[in-house]
Chains A and B, each alone.
Chain A
């Protein structure tokens, strides 16, 4: 009754091609943004902002990056962690080499450097396909982490191999990194960046480039026959995906944890982000956020659940049970809805259009 496109008339092509052609969808998105920017920072505690919202936003950005590569361009990748590490270490080197550089520039350049690395590791994708490529991308994962561990230059020869973000200000003297930054400032800064990048990504996948990616994903030979060049298309996907992952890694190291070692971006991180896009939905911007929310909240829920029931279980047993429940839930989700939460959301919207008069 309330959610429908009937009665909405568009007078221009511009209006017809808007991201959200239905009025109710626009309201919904504005409401979500208003809640995210205004309500959440005022009502939630530092714990919620710092340990749940921040990692959620940053991992959602990384999931967005992987979703561009895997969901839109069809190149299965297990090297996300390596690219995030590249972003983090590039940002650290930039911030320490040029101390006056603004944090936005640092993020931009570290994303660009990661995009270069991504192109380099994307080159084999022209020959190798499917699961062969997925396993081959593990090469980038292990190689990059090894490199950051091994060569002191990347950590400015710190003995522990840990990099620590210098304090940096976003606007005026509002710090967003370092020990004196408030959690609210960090949250709003990350939220703005993630919102902006999500908007850019949404428009990119609607554009010519995005359609080329999807054509390659659906069948690369057919795509080649209709005149899409494999080399630039696939490398563009690798570059943009790594760009997003690099910024996510830099945000993780600088804004979220403040100091980080290469092991924070090991192969488990790659799998975690892959889970996000599978559970959220491949080839969907919304899916990246839904999946990230699910994967970030689930372990917190699982490790707190025994306390709510008054059970006292040793810590290592909890972590095993957590892994068990996690695995079982993933299988459950795949069986119930292989196309992820985003597909459930779509089904809900279709149901809503008919509700409450299905005939």
Chain B
């Protein structure tokens, strides 16, 4: 990963702003509570929830890199995998078995999507494929809830949701968020190794670089698409487990895709590290803004703040922080 100079400047400037704006808000306005430990507590909480956004954004990036498809169905896949997992578990399967069965289901789903949708839409414009994935999203939302019902289900994977104190009792952090961050980290490392060192990973990178060149050296594009959708399905399952045990497995899981989109454009569609760093920036920025800025303008700004933040970044780097530079030729 080669960091360009302006990327470093932008990240440094945003970190500076993240500290400066809450501090200013705290000194200017009496009713906003500002203390350094409290600031760090909010910031760390934000970073950790940003990791959760990254988990969803990661699935988007994988598919976009390998097939150029902007997969709007990633949120629906998160919901579908979580519903399947919980549903199987409720039917009496032990947890490990239901995880395996869910993975198989996601594989079948990937094959079905490739067979039915992608293969029929080869060579269509990007917007058509994007619309098709919205269709997939609707279908999966309806399908999952038709089979498994739409009531809120609990998913307990045995992690405590209790907050614990760290750094000499100064800062309060949710243990669950820490575990989520560790799992996300492991997932990213595994994916990076998979992409870097396996035969399939090399093929995936080749396809991402140039479809036609990859085809001409004998890489079977169709298998690659199945693999990449299956990997995105696995990422969706991990995200589904984490989000599901945090919020309960319900329809609103499908909406976290909307939370992951700003992360995605901030980091760039084509970059795995971008998804992680974008998630961290958005997570921290959102929480800090919610605590320190929102009281001044009426509150409830988490719906749009991430988008505005990403928009501001995009004005400086239209391809996102780590996205490939968009080169246009006439």
Contacts and interface: CB of A to CB of B under 8 A. Distances in A.
B149 to A, nearest CB: 9
Given A124-B314, A132-B318, A338-B124, A320 B300 contact: no
B139 interface: yes
B38 to A, nearest CB: 25
Nearest to B255: A267
Interface in B236-294: 258, 261-262, 264-265, 269
A335 interface: yes
Most chain A CB inside 10 Å of its own CB: which residue of B269, B303, B311: B311
A331 B136 contact: yes
Interface string B111-137: 000001100110011111011101111
B304 A146 contact: yes
Nearest to A329: B135
Contacts of A139: 304, 307-308, 310-311
B330 interface: yes
Nearest to A131: B70
A225 B330 contact: yes
Interface residues of A, number: 49
Contacts of A143: 304, 307-308
Nearest to A267: B258
Interface residues of B, number: 51
A72 to B, nearest CB: 14
Interface in B301-330: 301, 303-304, 307-308, 310-311, 314-315, 318-320, 326, 328-330
B3 to A, nearest CB: 20
A145 B310 CA distance: 18
Contact of A327 (B139, B298, B299, B315): B139
Contacts of B126: 130-131
B150 interface: yes
Given A124-B314, A142-B303, A338-B121, A327 B258 contact: no
Given A131-B126, A136-B265, A331-B132, A326 B320 contact: no
Contacts of B314: 124, 127-128, 132, 136
Contact of B328 (A132, A221, A316, A338): A221
Contact of A274 (B131, B307, B310, B319): B131
B14 interface: no
Interface string A7-25: 0000000000000000000
B330 A150 contact: no
Nearest to B320: A132
Interface in B167-185: none
Nearest to A219: B330
B77 interface: no
Contact of B318 (A128, A219, A324, A330): A128
Nearest to B144: A320
Chain A, interface SS category: helix
B87 interface: no
Contacts of A316: 150
Most chain A CB inside 10 Å of its own CB: which residue of B139, B140, B308, B320: B139
Contacts of A193: none
Contact of B146 (A149, A320, A334): A320
Interface string A217-248: 00111100100000000000000000000000
A76 interface: yes
B330 A132 contact: no
Interface in A145-186: 145-146, 149-151
Nearest to B76: A327
B137 A320 contact: no
Interface in A44-102: 70, 76
Interface of B: 70, 116-117, 120-121, 124-128, 130-132, 134-143, 145-146, 150, 258, 261-262, 264-265, 269, 298-301, 303-304, 307-308, 310-311, 314-315, 318-320, 326, 328-330
27 contacts: A127-B314, A128-B314, A130-B126, A130-B326, A132-B319, A135-B307, A136-B265, A136-B310, A139-B304, A149-B300, A221-B329, A222-B330, A278-B127, A320-B143, A322-B142, A323-B139, A326-B139, A327-B137, A327-B139, A328-B135, A329-B135, A330-B132, A331-B117, A334-B128, A334-B131, A334-B132, A338-B124
